[in-house]
Amino acid sequence: MTVQGLFASKSKTTARVSAVPRIAIVGRGFSGMMSAIALMKTVRTPFHLQLFDPNSSVSGGQALSSVRASTILNTRVRDLSVSLGDADDFNDWLCSNAEFRAAVRAAIPGFRQIFVPKALFSDYVYQRFSEALAARKDITVQVCHEPVVAIRRSHANRFLLESAHPANPLFETVVLATGYGLSDPEPEAEDRSPVRAQRLVARPHAVLLGSGIRVVDQLLQLRDSGYPGQITIVSKHGFLPQSHTPNSADPLFPAEALPQKLPEIVRFIRTACREAEEEGRSWQSVMNGLRRHARSLWRSLPADQKRQFNRHLRAIYDSHRNRLPEAMHLRLKRELAEGNTILRRGTAGRRGLSGIFFTPAGSNIEEVIYAERVFDCRCKAPDLAMPLMQSLIGSGLAVPDELSLGLAVDQRGDLCLEDGSTVDGLFAVGPLGLGSLPDIDLVPEIVTQAYAAAQKVAEQFYPRSRAV
Ligand SMILES: Cc1cc2nc3c(=O)[nH]c(=O)nc-3n(C[C@H](O)[C@H](O)[C@H](O)COP(=O)(O)OP(=O)(O)OC[C@H]3O[C@@H](n4cnc5c(N)ncnc54)[C@H](O)[C@@H]3O)c2cc1C
């Protein structure tokens, strides 16, 4: 069934069931679509679901479906199931896809350890969304193509959402899944003055800002599309993503209690990595093991040590947790070794007409890197300045986390207020919780949080319901 068909047929029933509870999801990225799946599979009583996002498409996650078809996810299939309690769901979906099976014969009988294109994952998520909806004749779904600019609490603990639509109904439950915020209408990805820049550079030259997975994606996309020029990666700390192991790196972590202070924790983890390598295991296994302790560890750190981690260690941590499939890492290494791509550590400044201003690390002299194209691939924090966030914070429905990286949330996505209470009916799923929950920008963690939030919705607001 097409998206339009799906929603058109569903919306016919809206008038008849207008008395049912209403749930709004703000954002149709992966977190929003995942929340919708989790709600449809968990809340067993009828409800109306309204999905807000100015981005007009409905897919398995905007960011994931919009990339080029060949761009590979950096998480293995085994960690990407969107089905609670069925870790093999994505693998099974791939196995049932004859076209994929024919193309990737080598991995038969299972695809658990491989890396697949983002667009394929997006298709899987969208199919699971469609199936969950098709299985529920008792719910209605409405898609709204507009941003939500404010949320206010109304009478009887309901929420009023302000958007371009003149009169939104009141919602009993709202899930914020706004990720990093609204994308710029005029992306500042490229300098628009190629002619002048080309006069100044001997060879085409592109600058990539950042050092994470997005930089490597952009670099490889440029090369795959035949870009022959020089590429300079400008990174503040200079840590590029490390490599995955060829085979699975099963989580491994020392049984001893972790130390309390940040420098000792770092030493502890380094020692664990070294010992793992000496025993024929990999440091990647230790990093995978660390992820299981990351939340309790983060919670136990005082705010000043969290800040210290963010300033000095986050870039190293990110380069070791967000790893590249081996083949991509080899391509990156080759690019750097051959000198067609260079890495420069320092701070990017303002854009000029023919490139970008740059201050090398350890220097205070600004220079210009001449380039006809500049791509901003830096990781962004959630946008707390956008009107929606300001309205939530201003009306006391949310508070920023202690580092102001996002909103204060707990594992179930409850918004946590300063007095320790939570806001009934209001949830935040995904990267909005980055300052509270390590790794909540990654698929496995988002899946777990979305189901936990859905379970709370089921229990608190629809007590007769039971998860399936
Ligand atoms: C290119 C790419 C590759 C990735 N690869 C991996 C991977 O291999 N493994 C892994 O685990 N994770 C990966 N991730 C990370 C993970 O998928 C992301 O953290 C996840 O996509 C975040 O999804 P999100 O829905 O929370 O946020 P986003 O994708 O940022 O979506 C948020 C949506 O909310 C909308 N929105 C924002 N504000 C409003 C508003 N006020 N009103 C209405 N709508 C609003 C936006 O328009 C947007 O569509 C990748 C992410 C990207 C972008």
Mean pLDDT lowest among 113-127, 156-170, 219-233, 346-360: 156-170
The CATH number of 3-73+117-181+382-461, from 3.40.1180.10, 3.50.50.60, 3.90.950.20, 3.90.245.10, is 3.50.50.60
| Confidence at residue 439, expressed as pLDDT on a 0 to 100 scale | 92
By most ligand atoms within 8 Å of CB, the mutation choice from 70, 124, 175, 182 for ligand 1 is 182
Superfamily per CATH, domain 194-242+324-376: FAD/NAD(P)-binding domain (3.50.50.60)
Which residue, by CA, sits nearest to atom 45 of ligand 1? Answer: 27
Verify whether ligand 1 is closer than 6 Å to residue 413 (CB atom): no
Who has greater pLDDT, 210 or 99?
210
User: pLDDT tens digit string along 292-330?
Assistant: 899 899 999 999 999 999 999 999 999 999 999 999 999
**Summary mean pLDDT of the chain:** 87
Q: What is the pLDDT of residue 265?
A: 94
**Average of per-residue pLDDT across 411-429:** 95
Q: What is the pLDDT of residue 352?
A: 82
- How far is residue 399's CA from residue 295's CA, in Å, rounded to a whole number? 19
pLDDT of residue 3: 44
User: What is the CA(443)–ligand 1 centre distance, in A?
Assistant: 10
Q: 109: buried, middle or exposed (CB in 10 Å: 19+, 13-18, 0-12)?
A: exposed
Q: What's the gap in Å between 106 CA and the centre of ligand 1?
A: 31
- 68 has a pLDDT exceeding 80: no
431 Cα nearest atom in ligand 1: 26
Atom of ligand 1 nearest to the CA of 31: 25
What's residue 17's pLDDT? 37
Measured from the CB, is residue 67 less than 6 Å from ligand 1? yes
Domains 3-73+117-181+382-461 and 194-242+324-376 share a fold: yes
pLDDT in tens, 105-142: 666 668 898 899 888 999 999 999 999 999 999 999 99
- Render pLDDT for 244-301 as a digit per residue (tens, 0 to 9): 998 888 899 998 888 989 999 999 999 999 999 999 999 999 999 998 899 899 999 9
**CA 179 to centroid of ligand 1, rounded, Å:** 5
Is residue 53 within 6 Å of ligand 1 at its C-beta? Answer: yes
Ligand 1 centre distance from Cα of residue 388 (Å):
17
Alpha-carbon distance values, 154 to 119, 151, 162, 363, 368 (Å)? 39, 9, 12, 54, 53
Q: Is 31 in the pocket of ligand 1 (CB under 6 A)?
A: yes
Ligand 1 centroid–CA 155 distance in Å is 32
Ligand 1 near 33 CB (within 6 A): no
pLDDT of 12 above 70: no
Could you tell me the residue ranges of all domains in the chain?
3-73+117-181+382-461, 194-242+324-376, 262-321
